[in-house]
Amino acid sequence: MIAPGLRDALEELLGDGVRFDVPLSRLTSLRVGGPADAVAAPRDRRELLELLRLLARARTAHHVVGGGFNTLACDAPLAGVVIQLSRFRRLEERPGGALRVEAGVSHSQLARFCVDRGLAGLEFGAGIPGSVGGWIAMNAGIPGREVADALLELEVASPTGRCLSRLRRDALRFVYRSVRGLARGSVIVSGLFAVTPSTREAVRDAVGALLARRAETQPLNVPSCGSVFKNPPGDFAGRLIEAAGLKGHRVGGAQISPVHANFIANTGGATAGDVLELIRLAQRRVREHSGARLEREVRIVGEAA
C-alpha cells in the first residue's frame, strides 16, 4: 500500500503518468499477476531521475517492467512502484554507423525503422518480443546473434536517481541471457547499437524471414512469456521438456505449449501459481529423465522470487 504522502508526491510529479492498484495481468504478456501498488510512466529522463530519488527517500521498492515479456508476475499484491519506460520511444541515427534506441522501443518499431532506412545489424530483434530495455537487460538473442554483439554503449539511471551514466560495452560483462556489472535497481534508459548501411529490400527480407520462422515455431496466438528456460549448453530446453513427456501438459489454465515445449501458454484463466507449478514440474521431470538442469530464463516479479 502506497502511503498517502507518497501517493500525493507521485501524482504531483507524474500527473496522469501514475496509476494505483493496477493488475499486473494487464502489463505482462502471460496475462497473469496480482495488483501492483502503483505503476509509473515518466515522460523523460528528468522525471525518471526525480521518481527514483523520490522512491529512494521514501524507502519504497521499484520494479522495472517493460513490454511485459520474459516476466512472470506472482498472484499476490506487489509492494512498491512498477516503472514503465513506455514513453521512451525515440530512435536516432548517429554518425559513424550507430543508432541510439530508447528503452521503450518495441521490436516492431525498431524493425520498421531499420527497414525504412536500410540499416542492417539489428534484424535479429524482429524475432524477439518486448522492448529494447528488456532485451539489453537479458542479453536477448537468437541462435548465433545476441544484443551484446551489436551494443556499443548503454545509458543507465542509477538506482537512487543520482545520475545518468553511459557505459561502454567493455565495461559490462554479457553472458547468456544476462548482463552483469550494473547495480541492483539500475534502470536501462537506452542503448547505442552498431548498424551498417544496406538496402531496404535486404533488411526487409531478413526481418521477414525471422518473423516467418517465429510464426512457424512459436505459439503466437495465445498469451505466453516467451522462452521459460535457458537452453543448456549443447542442447535445447524445449527438446528436453518434450523428451520428458510434458509437451501439452496442463496445470489449471496454464499449458506447456504443444507447439514449442519451452513456452508456457495461458489457455484461459491461468494463475501465476499454475505457471510456477509447471516450471517446477518441468525442472524435476527433465532432471529425472536426462539428468539436465533447467535454469529459468523468465524473470519472476513478486513473492515467489
CATH code at 186?
Answer: 3.30.465.10
Give the model's pLDDT for residue 305. Answer: 44
Contact 249, 278 (CB under 8 A): yes
Give the model's pLDDT for residue 304. Answer: 55
Give the model's pLDDT for residue 220. Answer: 87
Annotation says 102 is catalytic: no
Residue 126 resides in a domain: yes
Which of 217, 245, 277 delimits the end of a domain? 217
Helices (H), the chain: 4-14, 45-57, 107-117, 132-137, 147-150, 200-217, 237-243, 272-290
On whether both 78 and 96 belong to a single domain, the answer is no
On whether both 42 and 13 belong to a single domain, the answer is yes
pLDDT tens across 200-257, in order? 999 999 999 999 988 898 998 999 999 999 999 999 999 999 999 999 999 999 999 9
Report, as an integer, the average pLDDT of 36-65.
97
Give the model's pLDDT for residue 67. Answer: 87
Query: What size, in residues, is the chain?
Result: 305
Residue 98 resides in a domain: yes
Q: Which domain holds residue 294?
A: 237-301
Cell of residue 69, nine digits:
515479456
Mean pLDDT of the chain: 95
Q: Which one of the listed residues 102, 153, 155, 297 is annotated catalytic?
A: 297
pTM above 0.85, yes or no: yes
On whether both 196 and 145 belong to a single domain, the answer is yes
Which of 165, 183, 217 delimits the end of a domain? 217
Contact 119, 199 (CB under 8 A): no
Q: What is the CATH number of the domain that holds 47?
A: 3.30.43.10
Q: Which one of the listed residues 25, 198, 227, 257 is annotated catalytic?
A: 227
Residue 227 resides in a domain: no
Q: Which one of the listed residues 177, 204, 224, 242 is annotated catalytic?
A: 177
Residues 6 or more apart in contact with residue 211 via CB below 8 angstroms = 126, 127
Q: Is the pLDDT of residue 68 over 50?
A: yes
Number of structural domains the chain divides into: 3
Report, as an integer, the average pLDDT of 276-305.
93
Q: Is the pLDDT of residue 118 over 80?
A: yes
Q: How confident is the model at residue 141 (pLDDT cuts 50, 70, 90)?
A: confident
Which of 217, 248, 276 delimits the end of a domain? 217
pLDDT tens across 145-173, in order? 999 999 999 999 999 999 999 999 999 99
Q: 3-state class of 216 per DSSP?
A: helix
Residue 225 resides in a domain: no
Which residues partner with 157 through β-bridges? 164, 187
Which residues partner with 141 through β-bridges? 146
Residue 232 resides in a domain: no
pLDDT tens across 83-97, in order? 999 999 999 999 999
On whether both 264 and 293 belong to a single domain, the answer is yes
Annotation says 57 is catalytic: no
Q: Is the pLDDT of residue 284 over 50?
A: yes
Annotation says 177 is catalytic: yes
Counting residues of the chain whose pLDDT is more than 70, the rounded percentage is 99
User: What gap in Å lies between CA 33 and CA 15, rounded to an integer?
Assistant: 25
**Residue where the block lists cell 501438459:** 249
